[in-house]
Structure 1
């Protein structure tokens, strides 16, 4: 997990301050490698594993859920020469709007009744070159989203709030 600055430090205070909660806009599951994503309005998250019906459902958990910023989709489309890009093309589980995902790296956060912990950036893979065309990999660099582990399982739903949880030493 990423190391955060001390909660009482100036940088720690800045990193803990988010303007508002976010929202789940889209949910997708990928049952196997190289098959189309299945769009759904909800998914079951299993503690320490992944999403039921997703290829990472029984994995180690560091990549139990992948998230991408909704606000980045039009930028990725423009940089790859498309009018729009479907979330399914980018192969992330959740599309989230209204909260900067980069601020959740190394933190615990709640999505509906599920608690996640941002573990690492979700960098694009070479498949994005095929999915988006030449330059697709580079179009996604820096905007691939976030990988998270499932700390407390439950059901994720489109429309759920996405909220950072206070870290030890931070004000609630």
Structure 2
């Protein structure tokens, strides 16, 4: 996605976030249909993704998946559940404090790592089984963001999520 010119009115609006975000949770998916492994920190490799995650080494556009912490209760409510644990949604990072979709098409830093938001992270058909009937639709519009790794390093729970200026 190409952003509007930085000096345009829309460009200035899109570049302004209310605050930095924060990593609340980290998980990797070791293999297809295998349980998500919850971590306190994860090594991230340039151009590939999270060490230990099944998507590492793929196309890179989906090297890391992020979901907004504030959307978890919304998804639960829409699915008719009391709560949802992040492992159920199979995303890598749960971020609080900022709208992760605002990072689409932008570079941002988490700990030592620089990522670039590539596309919305739409739900897959497995959400129907994970969340129950209507689970796929409960998650639509709330699935988060896919990102590629620009600079590797380590991401830790509690790290700030900071949008970078282009």
**Greater mean alpha carbon deviation, residues 57-66 or residues 113-122:** 57-66
Q: Distance in 2 between matches of 1:107 and 1:130?
A: 33
Q: Report the RMSD for the aligned CA atoms in angstroms.
A: 0.5
Instruction: Render the CA deviation track for 1:72-130: whole Å, top value 9, x for unaligned.
Output: 00000000010000000000000000011111000000011100000000000000000
Cα deviation code 1:14-51 (max 9, x no counterpart):
00001110000000000001111000000010000010
Moved over 4 A (4+): none
- Aligned position for 1:18: 17
Q: Secondary structure at the match of 2:70?
A: helix
Q: Which runs of 5+ in 2 are unaligned?
A: none
CA distance in 1, matches of 2:61, 2:12: 26
User: In the alignment, what sits opposite 2:65?
Assistant: 66
**Stretches of structure 1 lacking an aligned partner (at least 5 in a row):** 168-172
- How does the TM-score come out when normalised to structure 1? 0.96
Residue 125 of structure 2: aligned partner: 126
How many residues align structurally?
166
TM-score for both structures, normalised by structure 2: 0.99
Partners of 2:99 and 2:30 in 1: CA distance: 27
